[in-house]
Amino acid sequence: MSDAGSTHANAQSPNGSYTLIEILSQPLCWKSIFSDFEKTGELKNIAKEFSDVPEWLFIGCGSSYYVAQSAAATMTTLTGRRAQAIPASELLLFPELALGGRGKFLPILISRSGRTSEVLRAAEFFREKAIPTLGVGCATGQALEKLVTRAIILPPADEQSTVMTRSFSSMLMTLQALAATIAGRTDFLQAQRTAVPKTAEVLLSTLPQQVHSFVGKHRFDDYVALGQGGVYGIACETALKLTEMSVSYGQSFHALEFRHGPKSIVSGRTLIVCLLSESGYSAEVEVLEEVKRLGGTTLVVANQAESRAKKSADLLIELKAEVPEAARLPLYVLSGQLMGLYTGLGKGLDPDNPRNLSRVVVLEDEDPREEPTHAAI
């Protein structure tokens, strides 16, 4: 694959330069990946090989686990087949809970680096049981690629910075494309190749300035990201981006679950990021309105917002993507990535190199039950 967006800032560049370049490079990266899929036929071959699998198990850690959540939702939405996401640690520590009652299934192991210890151990677990596996990553020649039955590697999506941005959206889109290929959804695939990157380009022409200005006018004590359905994984990733890049306290909830206790934290010093779906729009807007009545500050992302949402949004981001609902998921993550970046910069931090984190969690010979250091992987 050609290396889209590989031009990085030099060693003298200011804090956050790598991360900003990688966020802005996403549309070009997606185009490169899908162009290569068309040339190689790789995705079609993998879809054909696993076309009869009735159940899919998406496995990752950190951001890769949130990729798994949204990818599993898309697989079920497009194919009607059962799909679930679990953290690799859950499989390793409680395999009977993770796998009990399953029939034939395909584990999909997700790791940007291809070196994440828990994901590699999960791959070894399935290999010992002679269960075929599919690996998805961004770095070539790594251990995961050698442990799985088949692998999809996306070099254009790899990153210089610690946190996952274009790798997150690219691995998600790839897994969505696999689901669409299995389902025969040519409309979905066409949207991914053209309309989604084009929409992202339009958004990114103004979104960085909007988010930068918003961050400059506010200071928050807490951050909460809300979403439902396939968007929930993006809400989790949004909270994580804020936590990683700005060392802020971020939480994520299903939107309607926020009413059941967590809303007690709402105040003008709490930013509530509401990622409104289309399918659950009406019910989710009611939560948004309740947050505003309680005095919360809101950042709202919606495909098309009507008057109620507009009235309740302190910052409104409209995607305006004329594509199937699930195909919009990668677009929802852009605002959270930029919020994390500019909030971190506002605190005088370097979002390229967050404290206590590394690009990959590599454990030595510790017992997997030992608590690992958390990082973007």
Q: What is the pLDDT of residues 288-345, one digit of tens each?
A: 999 999 999 999 999 999 999 999 999 999 999 999 999 999 999 999 999 999 999 9
Q: Residue 272 in contact with residue 292, Cβ under 8 Å?
A: no
What is the pLDDT, as a whole number, of residue 163? 95
What does CATH list as the number for 17-199? 3.40.50.10490
What is the pLDDT, as a whole number, of residue 47? 97
What residue segments make up the domains of the chain, in order of their start? 17-199, 206-346
Q: Is the pLDDT of residue 10 over 90?
A: no
pLDDT band (50, 70, 90) for residue 22: very high
Looking at the domain 206-346, which fold is it?
Rossmann fold (3.40.50)
Q: What is the pLDDT of residues 113-129, one digit of tens each?
A: 999 999 999 999 999 99
Query: Among 218-232, 274-288, 363-377, whose mean pLDDT is lowest?
Result: 363-377
Residue with more model confidence, 304 or 370? 304
Q: String of b and e for 304-319 (b: at least 16 CB within 10 Å)? A: ebeeebeebbbbbbeb
Same fold, 17-199 and 206-346: yes
Q: In what order do the strands lie in the sheet with 222-227?
A: 250-254, 222-227, 270-275, 297-302, 315-318
Q: What is the pLDDT of residues 141-174, one digit of tens each?
A: 999 999 999 999 999 999 999 999 999 999 999 9
Write the CB contacts of 100 (distance below 8 Å, at least 6 apart in sequence): none
Report pTM: 0.92
